[in-house]
Amino acid sequence: MSTLASAYTPSTTGHPVRQVLARRPELFTLMLLVALCAFVAAANPDFLRLATLFDLARASVVIGLFALGVFVILAAGGIDVSFTAIAALCMYGVTKGVVEFAPGLPLPVVFTLSIAIGLGLGLVNGFLVHHLRVPSLIVTIGTQYTFRGLLLTFIGTIWITTLPPQMDDFGKVALLTTTSSQGATIILPLFVLILPAVAVLTWWILRRTLLGRAIFAVGGSPAVAERLGYDLRSIHLFIFGYAGALAGLAGIIHACSNRQANPFDLVGSEIDVIAAVVLGGARITGGTGTVVGVVLGTLLVVVINNVLIMAGVPSTWQRVVVGAFILIAGAFMVNRRRA
Amino acid sequence: MDHIVEKTRSRADGAGVAPFLAVKDIHKRFGGVHALRGVSVTITPGQVYHLLGENGCGKSTLIKILSGVHRPDEGVIELAGREHRSLSAIEALEAGVETVYQDLSLLPNLSVAENVGLSQQLVRAHGRLATVLDRGLLADTARRALSAVNLPTSEDFLSTAVGDLPLAIRQLVAIARAIAVKARLVIMDEPTTSLTRREVDNLIDVVRSLQQDGVAVLFVTHKLDECYQIGGEAIIFRDGRCVAQGPMSSFSKEELSRLMTGRVVDGARYRQAKPAGATVLRATGLTSGERLREASFSLAAGEILGITGLLDSGRNELARVLAGVQRSTAGSIEIDGAAARIESPRDAQAHGVAYVPEDRLTEGLFLDKPIETNLVALVLDRLRGAFGGVDRKRARMLGARFVADLKIATPDLDRAVSALSGGNQQRVVIGRALSNQPRILVLHGPTVGVDVGSKDSIYRVVQSLAEDGMAVVIVSDDLPELLQNCDRILVLRAGRVVSDLPADTADEDAILKVMVATDDAVAHAGEAP
Ligand SMILES: Nc1ncnc2c1ncn2[C@@H]1O[C@H](COP(=O)(O)OP(=O)(O)OP(=O)(O)O)[C@@H](O)[C@H]1O
Ligand SMILES: [Mg+2]
C-alpha cells in the first residue's frame, strides 16, 4: 500500500495557492474579474450604481447564452462559429414572420418557434460534422456563410424598427427599477433570469447526466469514447442542436431587448463569445471547463466591453484589454499543464 | 480454412461447461495486412487463458474483435449462446466482456472515479445517454474496484484527473474499470507492463478471485513467468493463426518461445565483460521533489548501466531527470567533466543524451504520421537537402535502416504508426532515439511489451551500440533483462542509490533483497518471490 499511496500523488507540486488554482482555473477568472471591477470602481464610483449593474446584467444575457452553447461544443472537443448566424436568422425570420403573418401570436409560441428553428439549424451542423467527418470549425464556417446568405437573400435585409407589441412589452417587463445618475428610469428586465436558468440547466446536463459526462469523454478522446460504447452520433447531434437552440433563444431575446430586429446584427461577435469561454478556463482543445467559469468569463468580457469606458479607457482600447487578458489566461493555462 | 494446430493438449478442467464465448474461423485484414487468418478460440467460464505470441501476430486484433472495436471480415462470434457476425462496444459490455486495452483507453480529462465507474452506468442505461447519473453508485463502484487493485479510495484520489497520474497508476485504474462490474469475461491486453512485483502479485490474487466467481480471464502478456504463476490455458498465436493450445504447465519456456517465434531463443547473457572507457557522465546528489534524494553515480563510455528499484524508489524520476523531462531540485550533472544544465529535453539532446520514455504508447509518437516521419523526426535538420527541404532519399534510407535493425514488422514506411502493433510502435520510439546518434542513451523499460524473440533483437542493437562506445542507461524492473545486458546495476531505494553491483556476479534474489530491505522490510515481505 505504501508504494502506491506515495506513487499516486499527481505531479502538481508547488505553492498551495497554485495547486488550488490548478484544480479550479475559474478562480483565476474570478480574480481577474474582481481586480477589473475594483479598478473601474476606483476610477469612477458611478460603476457601483445599480443602474450600471442593471446594464451589465442586460448585456450579459445574449453573450452568456451563446457562451454556454459554445462551451458545450468545446467540452466535446469541437468548435462552433455559426451560432451568431443562427441567432440572426431566428431573430429576424421569426420577427418578420410575426409582423407580417401573425401579429397576435402569443409570446411563448414566438420563443418556441425561434428556439425550434435554432435547434433545427444546429442539428444540421451536428449532422454535417458527424457524417462528413470534417472538423467542426470548417463545417460551421461553411454554415455561417450559408445561414447568413439564406437570411439576407430569402428573408430580408430591411431593418424592423417596430416590434410586434407582445415582444416589445416583454423587453420592458421589469424585475427591478432604479434611476440613473442623469435621473432616467433604468429597469432590470425580467428576461435576465433566463441566463441563470439556462446556466443551471447546462450545469445539470453536463455534471449530472450520462450525456454530460459522455460529452466530456468525447472531448478527452473521441476514439476512446467510441471504443467505450458512447454513441458519438447522438453526442454530436445534441451538442450542436443545443447550441443552436440557445442561439435561437438568444436571438429572440436580443430583438426584445433592443426593441428592433436588424438582420445585420450579431454576426461578428463570435470571437467575443469564444474569448469569454476561454477566459472562463475551458481549453480550446476541449474536454475541460466549468459552467461557473463560462459565466465568469462572460461577465469579464461584458465588463470590459461596457464599462471600461467609465474608467476613462477609450473604447478602442477594449480590444487590447481583452487580448491581454486572453494572453495572461493562456499563459497561465499552459503553466498549469506543466506544473 | 483448416489451421495448423501443432499440438492441442488435454484441457485441465472446464470440460462439460457450456462455453461463454466462442469465435470461429475469424479473419481480419487491414489493407494488405492479413492480421488474423482463421482463428478459433473458445472461452469457458471460470478459466484463465493466456494469449501468447510475437509482436504483430494479431493478439490485440482478436481482443478488439471480442470487445466490439473491430468487425471481423469473416467468421462468427458466439456470445452467451447467441451468434453474431460482429459485436458493438455496447453489446460486448452488456454481455459482460470487460477489456483492459493495451493503450489503456482511459479518458485523461475525466476523474479516476468517472473512468472506473461510468461504463457501468452506460451499460445500465443500455447505451442511452439521456440518463441521470447515479452518483452514489458511481462513487461506490469506483471505491470498491480501486481498493481491489490496492489503489487509494480517498475523495482526493477519486477526483484526480487520470491524465495527471503516472503510467503504473493509470494501468491499475484501467484494470479497476474492467473489474468494477460483475463481468463474465475480463480481457487484459498486457496489463502488467509497468507494474512492479507487488502490484502484479496483487493482480494475480484479483484474477484468482474472479476465477472463483466463475469469471473467465483472458490475458495477453510477454512476461511468461507471470503466466506460469497464474496457470490456466495457453493459446499460442503465430502470424495470425493459433498454432497451439493447452494447459500452461504442459509447455516449457523454451517450447513456448519456439512455438511463438518458430525458432529457438536462448536466454544467455549478452554482455561480455569489457574494460570501461572514460567517464562521460557523473551525477552528484541528484534530487527531485520527494522521490529522488541525492542520487550519485557515474557512467563511462561503452558501459551499460542498469538502474532498478521499486515503483516509488525514484528510478523513474532519475530517468526523467537525466532526460530533462523532469527538473532536478538539487544536485548536478557533469558530462565530459563539464557541468551540464539539463532542464528540458532539448538541453538533454544538445548534450547528446537520448531518451526512450516508459510510456511509449501514449507519449512521444505522432500516431497518425507515417513510420518514416516518426523515425526521422529528431534529425530533420541533419537531413536538409540543397534547398533546405528534407532530403527524402536520405530520410528514407535512415528510416529503412532502423526498420531493418529493430525488425519493425511493416510492409512499408508510409504506413501510419497507429497501424502497427503495440510492440512495433515501441520499436519506432527506440529507433527515433537512436537516429540522433546520441552519446548517452537512456532507455526506460526498453522491452516493456516486446515479445521474447524481439527482445533479443533489441538487446543486440543495444550491445552493439555500447561496443561502439555509447554509454547506455537501462532503467527497468525486469531483472533478468538487466542481468543479461548490463555491466553494473544500481539499486535505488527511497530515492537513494543503495547498492552498486557488478551484473556478472549478481543474481535476482540478491537484488530483490536490496530493493525491499531495511526499516520497512516487514511491510515489503510480500515482495520477494
Ligand atoms: N488499425 C490498423 N490498421 C492497419 N493495420 C493494423 C491495425 N491494427 C493492427 N494492424 C496490423 O495487424 C497486425 C496485428 O496487430 P496486433 O496489434 O493485433 O498485434 P499484437 O499481437 O497485439 O502485437 P503486440 O504484442 O506488439 O501488441 C500487425 O501487423 C499490425 O500492423
Ligand atoms: Mg498488442
Domains and CATH numbers, chain B: 1-86+185-268 (3.40.50.300), 97-181 (3.40.50.300), 279-368+438-524 (3.40.50.300)
Neighbours of ion ligand 2 (CB under 5 A): B 60, 102, 421-422
Of A196, A195, A179, residue with least CA distance to A187: A179
Of A61, A55, A56, residue with least CA distance to A251: A61
Residue A297, burial from CB neighbour count under 10 angstroms (0-12, 13-18, 19+): buried
Res B518 pLDDT > 70:
no
Going from the Cα of B240 to the center of ligand 1, the distance in angstroms, rounded, reads 10
- Any atom of ligand 1 within 6 Å of the Cβ of B60: yes
Q: What CATH number has the domain bearing residue A143? A: 1.10.3470
Tell me the pLDDT tens digit for each residue of A246-262: 999 999 999 999 999 99
pLDDT grade, residue A198 (50/70/90)?
very high
Res A97 pLDDT > 90:
yes
Residue linked to cell 532507455? B443
At position B47, the amino acid (one-letter code) is: Q
**Dihedral angle over CA of B472, B478, B481, B482, nearest 10:** 50
For chain A, the first-to-last Cα distance in angstroms comes to 26
Tell me the pLDDT tens digit for each residue of B74-101: 999 999 889 999 999 999 999 999 999 9
How far apart, in whole angstroms, are the C-alpha atoms of residue A239 and residue A250? 16
- What per-residue confidence (pLDDT) applies to B452? 77
Q: Is B479 helix (H, G, I), strand (E, B) or coil?
A: helix
Higher pLDDT: B148 or A5? It is B148
Higher pLDDT: B398 or A170? It is A170
- What per-residue confidence (pLDDT) applies to A254? 95
Tell me the pLDDT tens digit for each residue of B133-145: 999 999 999 999 9
Find the range with the poorest average confidence among A180-194, A272-286, B261-275: B261-275
- Any atom of ligand 1 within 6 Å of the Cβ of B191: no
Whether B522 and chain A come into contact, CB under 8 Å, resolves to no
pTM of the model: 0.81
Q: B350 CA to chain A: closest CA distance, Å?
A: 22
Query: Do the domain assignments include residue A226?
Result: yes
Tell me the pLDDT tens digit for each residue of B18-51: 899 999 999 999 987 899 999 999 999 999 999 9
A residues 95-134 near B, CB within 8 Å? none
Find the range with the poorest average confidence among A230-244, B447-461, B474-488: B447-461
- What per-residue confidence (pLDDT) applies to B407? 81
Residue nearest to atom 3 of ligand 1 (CA): B419
How far apart, in whole angstroms, are the C-alpha atoms of residue B446 and residue B455? 9
| % residues pLDDT > 90 (chain A) | 61
Higher pLDDT: B1 or A317? It is A317
Tell me the pLDDT tens digit for each residue of B433-450: 888 788 999 999 888 877
- What per-residue confidence (pLDDT) applies to B307? 94
Of A1, A2, A3, A201, which to mutate for an interface test with B (greatest number of B Cβ within 10 Å)? A3
B27, B54, B55, B61, best to mutate for ligand 1 pocket (most atoms within 8 Å of CB) = B61
Chain-chain contact of B127 with A6 (C-beta, under 8 angstroms):
no
Q: How far is CA A285 from CA A76, A148, B369, B515, in A?
A: 9, 27, 20, 42
Going from the Cα of B257 to the center of ligand 2, the distance in angstroms, rounded, reads 17
Among B69, B135, B161, select the one facing A227 at the smallest CB separation. Answer: B69
Nearest CA in chain B to A235: B129
Nearest CA in chain A to B516: A3
Residue nearest to atom 29 of ligand 1 (CA): B56
Residue B318: CB atoms within 10 Å: 29
Tell me the angle at which helices A232-258 and A165-172 cross, rounded to the nearest 10 degrees. 90
Whether A8 and chain B come into contact, CB under 8 Å, resolves to yes
Query: Do the domain assignments include residue A251?
Result: yes
B residues 272-291 near A, CB within 8 Å? 289-291
Residue nearest to atom 1 of ligand 1 (CA): B419
For the four alpha carbons of B306, B310, B311 and B314, in that order, the dihedral sign comes to negative
B residues 53-92 near A, CB within 8 Å? 67-69, 88-90
B residues 183-222 near A, CB within 8 Å? 196, 198-199
Chain-chain contact of A234 with B129 (C-beta, under 8 angstroms):
yes
- What per-residue confidence (pLDDT) applies to B528? 37
Query: Do the domain assignments include residue A6?
Result: no
Of B187, B312, B516, which to mutate for an interface test with A (greatest number of A Cβ within 10 Å)? B312
Res B260 pLDDT > 90:
no
Of A213, A284, A335, which to mutate for an interface test with B (greatest number of B Cβ within 10 Å)? A213
Query: Do the domain assignments include residue A9?
Result: no
Q: Whole-number mean pLDDT of chain A? A: 88
Among B106, B130, B199, select the one facing A209 at the smallest CB separation. Answer: B130
Res A291 pLDDT > 80:
yes
A–B CB contacts, 8 A cutoff, strictly below: 118
Residue linked to cell 520497512? B520
A159-195: b (≥16 Cβ within 10 Å) or e: ebeebbebbeebbeeeeeebeeeeeeebbbbebbebb
The ligand 1 atom nearest the CA atom of B57: 21
Tell me the pLDDT tens digit for each residue of B61-79: 999 999 999 999 999 999 9
ipTM of the modeled complex: 0.89
The ligand 1 atom nearest the CA atom of B53: 21
Chain-chain contact of A220 with B108 (C-beta, under 8 angstroms):
yes
- What per-residue confidence (pLDDT) applies to B2? 38
The ligand 1 atom nearest the CA atom of B31: 4
Residue B225: CB atoms within 10 Å: 12
- Any atom of ligand 1 within 6 Å of the Cβ of B149: no
A residues 278-297 near B, CB within 8 Å? 287-288
Query: Do the domain assignments include residue A3?
Result: no
- What per-residue confidence (pLDDT) applies to B1? 37
Tell me the pLDDT tens digit for each residue of B169-210: 999 999 999 999 889 999 999 888 777 777 888 889 888 989
Q: B335 CA to chain A: closest CA distance, Å?
A: 27
How far apart, in whole angstroms, are the C-alpha atoms of residue B345 and residue B503? 29
Region of residue B340 (phi > 0: left; psi between -120 and 50: alpha; otherwise: beta): beta
Phi first, then psi: give them for residue A285, nearest 5 degrees. Answer: -85, -5
Among B123, B164, B310, select the one facing A11 at the smallest CB separation. Answer: B164
- Any atom of ligand 1 within 6 Å of the Cβ of B102: yes
Residue B404: CB atoms within 10 Å: 9
pLDDT grade, residue A339 (50/70/90)?
very low
Among B101, B127, B311, select the one facing A229 at the smallest CB separation. Answer: B127
pLDDT grade, residue A19 (50/70/90)?
low
Res B519 pLDDT > 70:
no
Query: Do the domain assignments include residue A5?
Result: no
Among B119, B150, B523, select the one facing A4 at the smallest CB separation. Answer: B150
Q: Whole-number mean pLDDT of chain B? A: 85
The ligand 1 atom nearest the CA atom of B409: 29
- Any atom of ligand 1 within 6 Å of the Cβ of B426: no
What residues have CB less than 8 Å from B226, skipping those under 6 apart? B192, B200, B204, B219
Region of residue B240 (phi > 0: left; psi between -120 and 50: alpha; otherwise: beta): left
Res A162 pLDDT > 50:
yes
- What per-residue confidence (pLDDT) applies to B524? 40
Q: What count of residues does chain B have?
A: 529
C-alpha cell at B387: 534547398
Query: Do the domain assignments include residue A2?
Result: no
- Any atom of ligand 1 within 6 Å of the Cβ of B448: no
Res B402 pLDDT > 60:
yes
Query: Do the domain assignments include residue A7?
Result: no
- Any atom of ligand 1 within 6 Å of the Cβ of B30: yes
How far apart, in whole angstroms, are the C-alpha atoms of residue B444 and residue B360? 10
How far apart, in whole angstroms, are the C-alpha atoms of residue A323 and residue A300? 12
B29, B420, B424, B451, best to mutate for ligand 1 pocket (most atoms within 8 Å of CB) = B420
Query: Do residues B299 and B473 make contact, with C-beta atoms less than 8 angstroms apart?
Result: yes
Which chain B residues are within 8 Å of A208, Cβ to Cβ? 132-133, 135
* Total count of domains within chain A: 1
Residue A178's DSSP bridge partners are A186
| % residues pLDDT > 90 (chain B) | 39
Higher pLDDT: B408 or A121? It is A121
Tell me the pLDDT tens digit for each residue of B310-366: 877 888 889 999 988 888 888 899 998 888 888 888 888 889 899 888 776 666 688
Higher pLDDT: B223 or A97? It is A97
- What per-residue confidence (pLDDT) applies to B460? 84
A residues 225-264 near B, CB within 8 Å? 225-231, 234-235, 238
How far apart, in whole angstroms, are the C-alpha atoms of residue B45 and residue B31? 35
Chain-chain contact of A208 with B166 (C-beta, under 8 angstroms):
no
- What per-residue confidence (pLDDT) applies to B267? 59
Pairs from A123-132 (Cβ < 8 Å, separation ≥ 24): A123/A237, A123/A240, A123/A241, A123/A244, A125/A80, A125/A82, A125/A240, A125/A243, A125/A244, A126/A236, A126/A237, A126/A238, A126/A239, A126/A240, A126/A241, A127/A236, A127/A237, A129/A78, A129/A236, A129/A240, A130/A232, A130/A233, A130/A236, A130/A237
Find the range with the poorest average confidence among A73-87, A160-174, B96-110, B269-283: B269-283
- What per-residue confidence (pLDDT) applies to A9? 52
Nearest CA in chain B to A3: B312
Among B90, B165, B168, select the one facing A229 at the smallest CB separation. Answer: B90
Domain that holds residue A259: 16-338
- Any atom of ligand 1 within 6 Å of the Cβ of B454: no
| % residues pLDDT > 70 (chain A) | 91
